A = this chain, B = another copy of it.
Amino acid sequence: MDNTVLLEDLDAFAYREALASGEAVVLIPVGSLEQHGPHLPLGTDTALASRIAVGVATRLGALVAQPIAYGYKSQQKSGGGNHLPGTTSLDGASLVGVTRNLVKSFLGQGVRHVVFINGHYENYQFLYEGIDLALEELGLGSGSDTSVLLLSYWDFVSADTLARVYPAGFPGWDIEHGGVLETSLMLHLAPERVAMERVIDGPAAALPRFDRLPVVPGRTPPSGCLSSAAGSDAAKGRLLYEQVVGDLVEDLATELWVAPMGLAVPA
Contacts and interface: CB of A to CB of B under 8 A. Distances in A.
A234 interface: no
Nearest to A89: B105
B101 A12 contact: no
A41 to B, nearest CB: 5
A155 interface: yes
Contacts of A12: 35-38, 42, 84-87, 224
A147 interface: yes
Contact of A210 (B69, B93, B214, B251): B251
A90 B39 CA distance: 34
A170 interface: no
Interface residues of A, number: 105
Nearest to A103: B213
The 8 closest A-B pairs by CB, nearest first: A8-B43, A94-B97, A12-B35, A151-B210, A66-B69, A125-B125, A13-B38, A218-B262
Interface of A: 6-16, 19, 33, 35-43, 46-47, 65-67, 69-70, 72-73, 75, 82-94, 96-98, 100-102, 105-106, 109-110, 115, 122, 124-126, 128-129, 131-133, 135, 140-144, 147-151, 155-156, 193, 195, 198, 206-219, 224, 247, 251, 255, 261-265, 267
